Amino acid sequence: MSDNHMLFSVCSVAAERVFPLRSKVLLEGNAESCRFRHDENDSTLHLAVYRSDRIVAVATICRESLPGSASDAEWRLRGVAVEARLRGYGLGRLLTKLCLDHAQNEGGRLAWCTARESARGFYETLGFASCAPPFQLPSRPDVLFHEMHCVLPVEAASKAG
Ligand SMILES: CC(C)(COP(=O)(O)OP(=O)(O)OC[C@H]1O[C@@H](n2cnc3c(N)ncnc32)[C@H](O)[C@@H]1OP(=O)(O)O)[C@@H](O)C(=O)NCCC(=O)NCCS
């Protein structure tokens, strides 16, 4: 993809690389709460879109079962954030799809996320559905969240055997 002759590239990055944009876009600049529980796990994938040498979009997926579940086939999508002036160009969708591919390749059967109300439609376009009434988090009483699930397709090869 190019825009004003600037190239975009997507790569897997270390956790620290996603923290600045995660914190700026999702946590109102609060750098202290930008680390999530499974960020450093070997199976966790952090993706970043670079525009030239600057990160303009990030997303993370980690193996994490749903609250109350013990399944190791559940993956949590977290920290999907696109710089404001580059929204609407498909970067969020691209990163989310790559995250879902990763979970699926690792044997994931379900992806879930805690979506803020303003992003619910975005996740719906990617196959996620709300599965319970919305709720608020003590840390963000100003925002309504939805737990959303997306069933990951079983690969034909694993179906066969
Ligand atoms: C939500 C966000 C990640 C979407 O990223 P994006 O790159 O702008 O989205 P895309 O261009 O990939 O859009 C993919 C599809 O979702 C739709 N979409 C994007 N944002 C949407 C929104 N907020 N509400 C409803 N639909 C939305 C697009 O229209 C597009 O639909 P299409 O497939 O029919 O064309 C981005 O707006 C963002 O960073 N927002 C602030 C942070 C945030 O809320 N993150 C999610 C945390 S739960």
What phi and psi values does residue 52 have, to the nearest 5 degrees? 55, -125
Which protein residue has the closest C-alpha to ligand 1 atom 23? 119
Strands 6-12 and 45-51: antiparallel
Q: 38 CA distance to ligand 1 centroid (A)? A: 24
Nearest-angstrom CA–CA distance, 82 and 95: 10
The tens digit of pLDDT for each residue in 134-143 reads 999 998 899 9
CA of 89, closest atom in ligand 1:
11
26, 91, 122, 128: residue to mutate for ligand 1 pocket, most atoms within 8 A of CB: 122
Domains of the chain in start order, with CATH, are: 2-160 (3.40.630.30)
Q: What is the pTM of this model?
A: 0.93
How confident is residue 6, by pLDDT bands cut at 50, 70 and 90? Answer: low
The tens digit of pLDDT for each residue in 86-142 reads 999 999 999 999 999 999 999 999 999 999 999 999 999 999 999 899 999 998 899
Burial of 144: CB neighbours in 10 Å, binned 0-12, 13-18, 19+:
middle
79 close to ligand 1 (CB < 6 Angstrom): no
Tell me the DSSP string of the chain: -EETTEEEEEEE--HHHHHHHHHHHHSTT-GGG---TTTT-TT-EEEEEEETTEEEEEEEEEE-PPTT---SSEEEEEEEEE-GGGTTSSHHHHHHHHHHHHHHHTT--EEEEEEEGGGHHHHHHTT-EE-S--EEETTEEEEEEEEEEEEPPPPHHHHH-
Q: In the predicted model, what is the mean pLDDT of the chain?
A: 93
Nearest-angstrom CA–CA distance, 32 and 77: 20
80 close to ligand 1 (CB < 6 Angstrom): yes
Strands 110-116 and 74-82: parallel
